[in-house]
Chain A
Amino acid sequence: MALHRGRGFASINYPIGMNLGGDPSQALVHSNPGGKFMVALSSIDLGQGMKSVTRQIAAETLGVPVEDVYVDTADSDTGPHCMGSFASRGTHRVGNAVIQAALEARSVMLEAAAEELEVDPADLVTDGKGNIHVKGAPSKSITTAEACGAAQFKQGRTVSGRGIFLIPLSEVDPETGEMTPVSCFAHAALIVDVDVDDETGEIDVVQMNSAYELGRALNPRLVEQQLIGGAWMGMSHAAWETTEPYYPERSHGPLDFNEYLMPGPGDIAPHDIAILERPAPDGPFGGKGPGEMCANPVLPAMVNAVFNAVGVRIDELPITPEKILRGIRANGGARPPARRN
């Protein structure tokens, strides 16, 4: 038996969002009389950080501390409409809707403050720490809580805002087939090193190195966490997971975690990530979002790495030991392609 080391590379150009009849998301923002803000969304946080990132976006736009903002994604029956948390669309679509809603709420808050301070709302600024004051005259000041309280109890205003972000349906040009389904793309390149055992057909992922360009990283630690976890999912799709191992034959599908294979903590490899920031002109504070593309480049890179290691070209996922061994046998042994230096 021998272990064969191989290296595979893949790069991707990843569209943010989708275009099946238009791609809208809505947000509603309102303050309570104590000056805390609620962002109502139907955009579910699956663990990827939807709530954290929309909270940051709302706080930044409103000009209040992040602690003063709550995000409620409770229920698509009671919340404003969202297409959903998929297609890597959350940060971009929902973030933009939150900015629009927060801007409207902010302007009401400033009008309420202006009425209390007897100044022009256009002269007011927020300090991001919970205060509103006259530009250049910080002593003429009111807290955001006082302004929201006055709006509620004295002035009869709702400090609230509505937001929607829509990428409209792009029709296909019947002459040319041309369309513009998305407004921005994220990018990634990934290199993976694997060891392939020519006796058992097993793959050991040794190392991953990657670079992701995803607009501005609105929360860099969250982004990194998502990329690390997503690469594991990619690796899992590439060589472990399948619901129909003999597709299109449906039998022998796994029914539970006893049978559904995934890499465990002992199967992971060191992964170095470089995050490149190229703010998107139409992204919220330049963000596009990592989303699904955390997993995408891993699959083709692993297939390429196996080919590089033993000369077997896998064209159906997952890359199982059985497929590798059949390929090695068909080739009359492990036959890595000639390497260029």
Chain B
Amino acid sequence: MAKKPVRFHLNGSEKAVFVEDGQNLLDMLRRGIGDLTPKYGCGQGTCGTCTVLIDGEPHLSCLTLAETVEGRQLTTTAGLASGNRLHALQAAFMEGFAAQCGYCTPGMLMAAKALLDRNPNPSRQEVVEAISGNICRCTGYEPIINAILEAAKSGDARHYG
């Protein structure tokens, strides 16, 4: 199979990899680069746990062709914390018990980050809409919604990451 070179930024650092024809971004990140933070849930765009940011917009990496990220800025959950300092969303998820099995968590964090980056003071309804493409089987969503609102309130959700 033909391989294509692709160059992009992942969490601020430059990456250059070869991708196969038709390879999806989730597979490239996990298998090609070893960033295991985006999860594989369904592979068909219905669970949201593979969500990553491309130029700040949330995308389902399982449905994104890897070669289309040429020249773009990618952010995954691995890029949220700065050193030991957790991103405000991560801290709020931890404080608010917003994860049980944790399988949906990376996707929830990325969907929430995209929201807070463009709207630092969202309403509850806006939070619900932002995560409505993400399935959680454990928490009943309530702690996740509350954690995102808490992170927004803490005001430093935009300071880094």
Contact = CB atoms under 8 A, between A and B. Distances in A.
Dominant secondary structure of chain B at its interface with chain A: loop
A46 interface: yes
B138 A264 contact: no
Interface in B65-110: 97, 99-102
Nearest to B140: A232
Which of the four size classes fits the interface of chain B? 20 to 34
A222 interface: yes
Interface string A144-163: 00000000000000000000
Interface stretch (A1-9, A31-39, A66-74, A255-263): A255-263
A225 B97 contact: yes
Contacts of A48: 100
Contacts of A258: 44, 46
B100 A264 contact: no
A256 B62 CA distance: 15
Interface string B37-48: 000011010110
B53 interface: no
Interface string A194-220: 000000000000000000000000000
Nearest to B127: A265
A16 B49 CA distance: 33
Contacts of B137: 233, 262
B106 to A, nearest CB: 15
Nearest to B141: A265
Nearest to A265: B141
Given A48-B100, A222-B97, A265 B46 contact: no
B131 A265 contact: yes
A46 B141 contact: no
Given A48-B100, A262-B135, A266-B128, A228 B140 contact: yes
B60 to A, nearest CB: 12
A229 B44 contact: no
A264 B132 contact: yes
21 contacts: A47-B100, A49-B100, A221-B97, A225-B97, A225-B100, A225-B143, A229-B139, A229-B140, A229-B143, A230-B140, A233-B137, A256-B42, A256-B44, A256-B46, A257-B46, A258-B46, A262-B135, A262-B137, A264-B135, A265-B141, A268-B142
Given A225-B97, A257-B42, 20 more contacts: A47-B100, A47-B102, A48-B100, A225-B139, A228-B143, A229-B143, A230-B140, A257-B41, A257-B46, A257-B135, A258-B46, A264-B132, A265-B132, A265-B136, A265-B141, A265-B144, A266-B129, A268-B140, A268-B141, A271-B142
